[in-house]
Amino acid sequence: MSASALLLYRQFKGMQTDTNLSNISVGLIDENIYEWEVMLMIPDECNFYGGGCFKARLSFPKEYPLMPPKMRFETPIWHPNIYPQGDVCISILHPPVEDKYGYELVQERWLPIHTPESILISVISMLSSPNIESPANVDAARQWRDDQAGFKANARKSVRASLEMC
């Protein structure tokens, strides 16, 4: 077994037994340590997505932890930092290279100290505090900025749809 697979196995087992992560559930897809199925049960106090149960996938590269995984929501979710097809756009999941647009500093991007747990906690935090200056979903960012009531209605639709899929 490779070093990355051993590390992921240890991190996977740790997350499965950590009682402090009651709102995060992880499993393997086809028993592949590089492909994780994730369920994020969003706490009720989370402003727009509270009560939601969102399914996502973490896909780790063989170069992990030197390179970041990719995360994609499989449950549709209306959010400025989530592309319409579900890919998550958050700084810590960007490769640790200079940003060609000069928007992010290298130290804001992927660092090998990040773990699946820290990624998922950051994504849950991102749901409440989107970055609308660098959106993945421009329409959601515009609505967040200009029409909070409409944004909340669309976010709550995402929550209801997530509960139907759970």
Helix 3-17 × helix 116-128 angle, to 10°: 60
The pLDDT score that the predictor gives to residue 50 is: 94
**Active site residues per annotation:** 89
Tell whether the model's pLDDT for residue 21 goes beyond 90. no
- What is the Cα–Cα distance from 20 to 24, expressed in whole angstroms? 9
Burial of 102 (0-12, 13-18, 19+ CB in 10 A): exposed
The pLDDT score that the predictor gives to residue 109 is: 80
Q: Are 152 and 48 in contact, with CB atoms under 8 Å apart?
A: yes
- What is the Cα–Cα distance from 151 to 63, expressed in whole angstroms? 38
The pLDDT score that the predictor gives to residue 101 is: 64
* Rounded mean pLDDT, 7-14: 97
Mean pLDDT over all residues of the chain? 93
The pLDDT score that the predictor gives to residue 165 is: 86
Overall domain count for the chain: 1
Rg (CA), the chain: 16
Q: Which amino acid is located at 111 in the chain? A: L
Helix, strand and coil in the chain, % to nearest 5: 40, 20, 45
**Pick the residue with more confidence: 18 or 123?**
123
- What is the Cα–Cα distance from 162 to 15, expressed in whole angstroms? 22
Q: Give the domain CATH number at 115.
A: 3.10.110.10
The pLDDT score that the predictor gives to residue 104 is: 67
For the residues of 61-94, what is the DSSP string, one character each?
A: -TTTTTS--EEEESS----TTB-TTSBB--GGGS
Phi, psi dihedral angles at 63 (to 5 degrees): -85, 0
Express each pLDDT in 72-110 by its tens digit: 999 999 999 999 999 999 999 988 877 666 566 666 789
Task: Provide the whole-model pTM.
Answer: 0.92
**By residue range, what is the domain housing residue 102?**
3-165
Percentage of residues in the chain with pLDDT exceeding 90? 80
Close Cβ partners of 39 (under 8 Å, ≥ 6 residues apart): 24, 25, 26, 53, 54, 55, 56, 166
Phi, psi dihedral angles at 117 (to 5 degrees): -65, -45
Express each pLDDT in 26-49 by its tens digit: 999 999 999 999 999 998 887 899
Which residue do the tokens 């820290």 mark? Answer: 118
The pLDDT score that the predictor gives to residue 156 is: 96
Express each pLDDT in 100-154 by its tens digit: 665 666 667 898 999 999 999 999 999 989 999 889 999 999 999 999 999 999 9
